[in-house]
Each structure stands twice: as structure tokens, then as C-alpha cells.
Structure 1
Amino acid sequence: MSSEEPSRSPPSVGALTSVFHVYRVERDDDEIRYIGEPLIPAGDLSKEVAPLFAQRGYDVSVTRRHGDGSPAPYALVAEPESPGIDGIPWGNLVMFVLTVATTLYAGTMWYYIDIAGDPLNLLRAWPFTAAVLGVLATHELGHYVMSRYHGVDASLPYFIPVPPPIGTMGAVIRMRGQIPSRKALFDIGVAGPLAGLAATMAVTVIGLHLDPIAVPEQAIQAAEGGASIRFNDPLLLTLLADLVGQPTGYGEGLAVNPVVFGGWVGMFVTFLNLIPVGQLDGGHILRATLGPRQETVAAAVPGVLFAMAGGLYFLTEYTQSTILWGIWGVLALVMVRAGSATPLREDSLGVGRLAIAALTFALGALCFMPIPIEIVLA
């Protein structure tokens, strides 16, 4: 493709003639849309044109047009690159710093650190923060790396700060444009859970080898006189503890090292992300493996979650878990209505990727906890 035009102007129609037949060009503020049809497989188009647009300071995505009666089924959507002010992704950095602060504060609760006398004691909770954010960052960077590999525009992770007991709701990346193929959709979807689980298992094993935390007497007395929160262990955590010969529970006055809780967070986040519906990682994997038939499976997911919530309500006293799975049932219902990602090319995955899909869902099942959290009354 030719690259004669000025370096900061969008590519001309002539520069695209070898790979994309342009019917017309539309402009909307800074966004430029080249309407036409590809002359090469649509799934390869983004990779082919991305370098040309990047040379001129533009991000480009490929979108498929539906139902407008146009003979042009595709559009190349170009927007000026916006990495942040002065080239720095300030939004990502601000969210990350806030999340570091909230997880440090949450960590002081698990380490029983008093920050009233010296706020700098907050920094003593850094192992908890490193464990939680390390797991979440590895998960999202798995998505990011595979998105870039397949030529899909993706942002750096945005971390979400919340109050204790965890200090974060996780992290997300933003992807623009359409996924080029089912293989790309699968690779992007599965990379996060597998990378995150590798980090989760490493963090858990490290935490199990660290010394337990001494619980202050006043904390024990407060628990005996009121309510306390108990985080139940998923099967994967129990298996790892048995494998390395370390306990997950201690006698009165001792608690497992908070780094282990970082692994617990990773396992819980992994299971939720692998729920096979909508834009969740599990939804991407399911769509890639089953194609359009995944809608039948996804439609049953909200019913399963509602049934689990109902069973817990009628058969147990764990109201908080009933509410948790009821909320996720509603979220799943919304995601079913919104639909899943639709790749540009419906290629088959092959036996290797199908085996990886089965392994990933099996590992996700080991992270499942019907009752993740209990509120224990004295």
C-alpha cells in the first residue's frame, strides 16, 4: 500500500485499494469511516491496515454493518490516537493509584494494622495489595497481549477501587472494533483466565508458606460478641494447600496470611468471569467454541443462577449468598439480551483450542463456591 500522503493526515482512499474497496468516506468530528468491502479475508483486514493508520496517528477498527440496505457490508473506523495527556494514560494511572490506596487500606484490616497513630503504617499492608493487584493485572494483561497480537485495539487495564474488605472490584480493558475471527475471540477470551489463574496459584502457594497473622485479643472478643465474616475456601485452594502440605486454618488467635486471600480473590474473580454468557470471558470462549449455537446455552445461564439463589434461600440460612447469585442472575439476563461478541470470520478452532476450552472451564469449576462468604453470628 502507498504511503505518500502527509504523516498526520488520514490515509487516502488510494492507499487502501489493494485490500479494501471504498464506496464512500464519512466524517463525524474526528472520526473517519471508510465504507466499503474487503478485498482480502475480513478477519485479516485489521492487521493489514493498522500499521498504515498508526503511522498517521490513527487507531482503526473494522466493523460490520447490518440492515441498512447498503451494498457496503464493512466500515474501517479511524479515530486519532488518544493515549492520554502528553502521551501518558492518566486515566489508567489515576484509577491504579486509587486502587492501590483502597487495597492498602483493606489490607490493614487483614493484618490488624493500626493507622490511627501513624498513617504511614498503611504501607505495611503492601503484600496484600501486591497479591490482589498482581493477580488482577496478570488477568487483564493476558487479554491485552492477545488483543494486540490479533490486531484488536485494546486499552491498558482500568482498575476499579472500592472500600474494604477487598479494596477493588477488579479491572477491565476496553476493546474497540470487531474481533477478526473465532480463533482470535477464543485466544483473547481464554488468555485472561489462564494467565490470572497461573498468577493466582503462585500467589496462593506463596501465601500458604508465609507465617500466619496473630489476631489481637480485642478482635477475638469483638467477634465473640457480634458478627464476623468468614470466606469459604474453593476446592482449588484446598487442593493447593494439600499439595504443598500447608494448612488453610489455624487455632484460636491465628489467621492465615492475607496473601492467601489475594489468591482467594483471584479464584473468585476467575469463576465469575468464566460464567458462559455475554461479554464475560466465559461468554467469549463459549461463542468461539460453539459459534452462533452458544445462544442456546447462554439463555439457560440466568435460570441456573436464579435456581441456585432460590435453593440457598429455601434450604439454607445464607441470605447474603442468595442475594449474590440473584444479582448475578439479573446481570446474566441483561447480558443474554445484549448478546455476545460476533467475530468477522467464522473459522473452526481445532482440537487443541477445544481442549484448552475444556481445561479452562474445568479449572473455573474448581474455583466455584456456592457460599463464598458467611456472616457468622456469635
Structure 2
Amino acid sequence: MSPDEPANSPPSVGALTSVFHVYRVERDDDEIRYIGEPLISPGNLSTEVGPLFARRGYDVSVTRRHGDGGPAPYALVAEPESVGIDGIPWGNIVMLVLTVATTLYAGTWWYYIDIAGDPLNLLRAWPFTAAVLGVLATHELGHYVMSRYHGVDASLPYFIPVPPPIGTMGAIIRMRGQIPSRKALFDIGVAGPLAGLAATIAVTVVGLHLDPIAVPEQALQAADEGASIKFNDPLLLTLLADLVGQPTDYPRGLAVNPVVFGGWVGMFVTFLNLIPVGQLDGGHILRAALGQRQETVAAAVPGVLFAMAGGLYFLTEYTQSTILWGIWGVIALVMVQAGSATPLREGSIGMKRLALAGLTFVLGALCFMPVPIEIVVP
């Protein structure tokens, strides 16, 4: 850097000469595009130049240019880092606070806590909130850590608040720029489900050892006289309960501790994320494992989901699950059309990663429930 060059200015063309031959530089407001050709493997380019741009306060991504007719097939796209106002990620914080509030409120349903007389009773539902958000945060931080490890710019998690009975739709992170290689794509994709599943198992085992909840007589009478919601157990939850010698069903008047439901949420989220299509974690893992052949498998996924919805509709009375899998069939169809992530560098991920991919999908299958939720009518 020249002594006269401001510390927060973008890198000069000369600073990139060892790794990237620049034909021209384009500016669009705060975005700067270095158009040119890599002098090293494109898959390694973002890792090489990332620290240089980061020191100047810029995020950088590598993009492939198509159809412009020029000799420069790549672009380094630099944008000023944006972590919030005054360096604080306020968007992430606000979403987290809202989700803590909605999950606390959802927890009052499961603990049968009355907040009408004292709103601060809401805080008594903290174990449920800690279980649900702990599982979701661990899942997303798995993606975040591996994204940073491979030099892919990623945001902190954004939690999504919704009304009870769960209080959240999960969390997401945003990744900017292309993923350098199939190995990086695999590592980023698999880290979330495996980290989240480890947290899910821990939360479930803890919850199974906690005392059951006493169900008030009013709630029992309401269930006797009207419809109630039942959450069915996946095989993994049943196996964990058998392993630790704890029940998941209790006699009338008692219910399993709500912390166990936090584990249930983690298992359900794990299965949905591992559906092998599009930008879901399962889509990333399959794309990394099979390369472009993944498209053949992904194309069959919507049909499988629609067939499952149809089977439940014609062969059972589980209308809610019919709607659920029908909706996911539509989502999968849209994701197939949108396509999967495309890494800059192709190449085999190796037998160890392939074995880990298989193990991850097996664990995801243990979290599967054909009828996750059912409405019980007396």
C-alpha cells in the first residue's frame, strides 16, 4: 500500500498482479469490479485476495462472467463490509430478540404458564427457548464457521420469529460470492446438519432426564372435548429414549418435558434441510458428492414428495401431513428450477467425504416422520 493511499480505499490493480490480471475496473456506487483473468486456480482466488480486501474494509467475491464476448471471464466484486450501524449487526440482534420473545411465549403453552396475571412469568419458559434456539444456532454456526474457514463471506445467523406452537421458523445465514470448490461446498453444507444434530441429541437427552410437566385439569378437559395437536416421534427420538431408559409417553395428567420438544424441532429441521435439492443443505451435499449428476436425483425429489402426499391423502386420514408434504413438493419443484450451488472448481471430494455424506443422509432419515403433526379429535 502506498503511503499516500487511504487505508479504507480498495486495493489497487498493482496489488493484485501476482494472482489476477486486470483488464479494467468498473465502479457502480460502492461496488468495484475488477475484470480480468486469474493467474492461479479460480477456486483459490477468493482465499488469496480475501485478506487483502478485508484489511481495507471490503468483502470480495469471485464471479464467472458469461456471454460478454470479451477476453476477461472473471470478476472480483468488492463491496464495503456491512455489519450494521457503527459496526454492530443490529438486524441480527433485533431478529434474535424477537425470536427469543416468540419462543418464550410458545414455551408458556408447553409449560402451561399463565402470563395474564404477571407477564414476567414468560421468563419461566426459558428452558424451552434455550433448547430450540440452541439447536438452531448451533446448526447455523456450523455453516458460518466452515464458510469462514474456506474464505466464503457469510453473515451471522438471522433468526425468524413466528407465533406458537414453536415460536420460530428457524434461522438462516447469507453467503455472498461463489464457493471455491466442491470440497468447500461439501464442508459448508454438511457442517450445519452435523453440528445441529449433535446439539439436538444433547438437548433431547437432557430433556428426557428432566421431570415431566403436570397438565392442568382444564387443559385435559379441553383436549377431551375438542381437537388437540399431537407431535409424533421420529425414530431417532425413540432410539435415544430407549438408550437412556426414559419414557416419551406419560399417563394422563403428565407430559414430557418441553425441552424434549426442542430436540424434536432440531430433528425435524435436520430432515427438511437434508432434502437433496437446490440450495438446501442436502442439495449442497449431493452436488458436492455427485457433481452435475446431482440434477438427476434432484429432479426426482418433487415427485417423491408429491407421491408421499398423495399416499397419505388416499390411504390415511392425516390431512395435515398431506398438505405439509404437498407444500414441500412445490418448494422442491421451485428449487429444482432454480438449480444448486455451482462451485468454481470441480473435482472429487474423496472417499472420506463421500462416506460422511452417506452417514449424514442416514442420520437425516432417522429424523424423518411421515406424519410429524396430527390433529387428534375425540
Which residue of structure 2 aligns with residue 196 of structure 1?
Answer: 196
Q: What letter corresponds to residue 300 of structure 1 in structure 2?
A: A
The sequence identity of aligned pairs, in percent, is 90
CA distance in 1, matches of 2:367, 2:64: 37
Question: Do residues 106 (structure 1) and 102 (structure 2) align?
Answer: no
**Aligned equivalents of 1:53 and 1:96: distance in 2?**
29
Are 1:56 and 2:53 counterparts? no
1: CA distance, partners of 2:255 / 2:343 = 47
Q: Deviations over 1:331-356 (max 9, x none)?
A: 00000000000000002111110010
**SS at 2:76 equivalent:** strand
Determine helix, strand or coil for the equivalent of 1:22: strand
SS of aligned partner of 2:86 = helix
Write the distance in 2 (CA, Å) between the matches of 1:358 and 1:314: 32
Deviations 1:161-184 (A, max 9, x none): 000000000000000000000000
2:127 alignment counterpart: 127
Mapped to 1, the partners of 2:291 and 2:362 lie a distance apart of 20
- Structure 1 CA distance, aligned partners of 2:211 and 2:69? 67
Partner of 2:342: 342
Q: Give, in angstroms, the shift of residue 70 of structure 1.
A: 2.5
Name the amino acid aligned to 1:87: G
CA contact (8 A) 1:3 1:52 kept: no
Cα deviation 1:252-297 (Å, max 9, x = unaligned)? 0000000000000000000000000000000000000000110000
Normalising to structure 1: TM-score of the pair? 0.99
Q: What is the CA–CA distance in structure 1 between the aligned matches of 2:23 and 2:199, rounded to whole Å? A: 48
- CA distance, structure 2, for counterparts of residue 204 and residue 3 of structure 1: 57
Alpha-carbon separation, structure 2, partners of 1:74 and 1:369: 45
1:281 corresponds in structure 2 to 281
- Do the aligned partners of 1:274 and 1:364 also contact (CA within 8 Å) in 2? yes
Distance 1:3 1:160 in 2: 45
What's the counterpart of residue 173 of structure 2? 173
CA shift for structure 1 position 3: 6.3
For structure 1, the 5+ residue unaligned runs are: none
Secondary structure, counterpart of 2:113 in structure 1: coil
In 1: Cα distance, 2:198 partner to 2:318 partner = 31
Q: Which amino acid aligns with 2:49?
A: V
Aligned partner of 2:206: which letter?
Answer: I
Greater shift in the superposed pair: 78-87 or 137-146: 78-87
Question: CA contact under 8 A between 1:112 and 1:215: conserved in structure 2?
Answer: yes
SS state of the match for residue 86, structure 1? coil
- Distance in 1 of aligned mates of 2:69 and 2:277: 30
Structure 1 segment 254-273 matched on structure 2, within 5 A: 254-273=254-273
Which position in structure 2 is the counterpart of 1:300?
300
Tell me the secondary structure at the aligned position of residue 346 of structure 2.
coil
Distance 1:77 1:163 in 2: 39
- Deviations 1:139-177 (Å, cap 9, x if unpaired)? 000000000000000000000000000000000000000
| Corresponding residue for residue 253 of structure 2 | 253
Equivalent positions of 1:70-81 (< 5 A) are 70-81=70-81
Does 1:164 pair with 2:155?
no
The more displaced of 21-30 and 190-199 is 21-30
Q: Distance in 2 between matches of 1:148 and 1:3?
A: 29
Distance 1:88 1:212 in 2: 41
1:61-88 residue CA offsets vs partner (Å, 9 max, x unmatched): 1111122222211110000111110110
Q: Give the partner amino acid of 1:371.
A: V
In the TM superposition, 1:311-330 aligns within 5 A as: 311-330=311-330
Q: Which range moved further: 181-190 or 43-52?
A: 43-52
Note the 1:137-148 alignment, pairs <5 A.
137-148=137-148
Aligned residues: 377
Give the AA of the match of 2:298. A
The 1-side partners of 2:302 and 2:72 are apart by 37
| Letter of the structure 1 residue corresponding to residue 53 of structure 2 | F
- Give the match for residue 220 of structure 1: 220
Q: Does the residue aligned with 1:84 lie in a helix, a strand or coil?
A: coil
1:333 aligned onto 2:336: no
Residues 112/65 of structure 1: CA separation in 2 closer, same or farther (3 Å cut): same
Output the amino acid matched with 1:346.
E
Deviations 1:23-66 (A, max 9, x none): 11111110000011110111111111011111111111111112
Comparing 53-62 with 129-138, which one deviates more in the overlay?
53-62
User: Aligned to 2:23, what secondary structure does the other structure show?
Assistant: strand
CA RMSD of aligned residues (A): 0.7
How far apart, in 1, do the equivalents of 2:244 and 2:8 lie? 57
With structure 2 as the length reference, what TM-score do the two structures score? 0.99
Counterpart secondary structure, 2:115: coil
Aligned 1:352-371 pairs, distance under 5 A:
352-371=352-371
> 1:298 aligns to what SS in structure 2?
helix
